Amino acid sequence: MTGESNIKDVLMISPWIPDKTGFGSQKRCAMHLSVIASLYRVHLIIFTHTPINSAALPESIKAICASIQIIPVAPPHSPSGIFRLPLVATLREFVQPSLYRINTTDDALRKAIDAFHITKFHIAFCFRVPSAVLLGRLIQLTSISAERTVVDFDDIESISLSRAQKFTHDGFEKAIISKIYLRRLIKFENYLLQTYDDVLVCSDDDRKFIQNRDHRTTIHTIPNSVPLQPAPQVLQDRDVLNILFVGIMTYGPNRDGVIWFCRDILPLIRNQTNIRCGVSLVGFDPQADIQALASLDNVIVTGGVESVRPYYENCDLVIAPIRYGAGTRIKILEAMSFQKPVVSTTIGAEGIDVEDGRNILLADSPDAFAKACVELLESAAMRQSMGREGRKCVEEKYSEGVVAEKLNQILTS
């Protein structure tokens, strides 16, 4: 395909390595990349502060890209010297906004573009808002141009950050800096809504939200997607039933959710039923507060695992006790693709077209969440029925093929 002269060139920029086996944003990014590469010749820029080289990239990514450039970005540093003084770090946020502080050199950016040997692109596709920041810098430094600009907001970060402020308590000055960052982020999102040709979001709820802002762009819903898994065998009666949570443990809503579940909800479940149940918390980088949950009776904290498949296949229900954040949870779609019943908060299932009581159970208080889990633990028939309905939902609306076709239509329209 890359040898055909009539194939148009697309510049794709991402702060993550596209990876169908990675975390949620990596999976979404990988889906976008596979669709774009099926239509155009892709030149990919990955900017990351995690040391990587092209040899470490997934073969599936290297096979579909015409060229890949990895731009090393220095990690954000904690304030030092004078910036440790009260309110001086706040002043720095005004002078050097962290939203625009992508710590790499101009020379590194020029070299990346020079390596492509092309400056005129059919589409510049930015995955998440920071990529649009980087594209703006590239346009200022080099002679690149694009006939069409597309940005995928993925989660609407301003919604997520606004909700997080109610749950995070990092001190007075960090709270001020967070508010400054939020205001600047909303302003930049609005700038993209005015200047980009297309903006993608992951749910109709998000699309309706930002359509209320002044915009000139076309806003599209591209849901998250998951591959359909082979239908698992029905689990036989066991002495202990398994409750599963899957998610990166450094992500604030996940950390908050599993601690809330184990401390406030799990004791209620065990008081309300004679069914014995265990809990598996599966995800990379559990910090000390998450690791401490393993001291609770029959709670396992695995850390990162090579594959989540065995955990899904061996569980009886999946939980998403998420109290803040934004976007749609791939963990819920993934559980449904394995035909597993899910109990979630309303925010956890936000943006997914589900029906409470049919293909998911929704509950927002500890008592209601515990009751929903107990209902499923005590009824194998209910677990099987809800699992089947959940899988049907994924097949019809969130499978890779269905979502890829939607993106294909947008990119070729």
Q: Write down the pLDDT at residue 1.
A: 43
Boundary of a domain, candidates 171, 196, 222? 222
pLDDT in the model for residue 194: 97
Position 4 in a domain = no
The CATH number linked to 150 is 3.40.50.11930
Residue 125 is assigned to a structural domain of this protein = yes
* Separation CA 329–CA 351 (nearest Å): 9
**Which backbone phi and psi does 345 adopt, to 5 degrees?**
-75, 165
pLDDT computed for residue 395 by the predictor: 96
DSSP structural state of residue 360: B
Report the CATH number that the domain containing residue 379 is assigned in CATH.
Answer: 3.40.50.2000
Domain that holds residue 383: 240-398
* Confidence band, pLDDT 50/70/90 cuts, at residue 326: confident
pLDDT in tens, 329-387: 999 999 999 999 999 999 999 999 999 999 999 999 999 999 999 999 999 999 999 99
238, 219 contact by CB (below 8 A):
no
265 plus 134 within the same structural domain: no
Burial of residue 70, with CB atoms counted within 10 A of its CB: 0-12 exposed, 13-18 middle, 19 or more buried: buried
Q: List the one residue out of 20, 65, 19 whose CA is nearest residue 44.
A: 65
Burial (CB count within 10 angstroms: exposed 0-12, middle 13-18, buried 19+), residue 394: buried
Q: Is the pLDDT of residue 79 over 50?
A: no
Return d(Cα 45, Cα 347) in angstroms, integer: 33
| Mean pLDDT, range 169-182, rounded to an integer | 79
Q: Residue 308 — pLDDT band, cuts 50, 70, 90?
A: very high
Whether 411 maps to a domain, the answer reads: no
pLDDT at position 81 = 43
Domain match, 218 and 307 both: no
Asked whether residue 158 carries a pLDDT value surpassing 50, the answer given is: yes
Q: Which pLDDT value is given to residue 86?
A: 55
Burial of 381 (0-12, 13-18, 19+ CB in 10 A): exposed
**pLDDT at residue 83 greater than cutoff 50:** no
Averaged pLDDT for residues 153-182: 84
Please write the tens of the pLDDT for every residue from 243-301.
999 999 999 999 999 999 999 999 999 999 999 999 999 999 999 999 999 999 999 99
Domain boundary (162, 189, 222) is at 222
Residues 135, 281, single domain; the answer is no
Q: Are residues 96 and 141 in the same domain?
A: yes
Measure the CA–CA gap between 264 and 250, rounded to whole angstroms.
Answer: 20
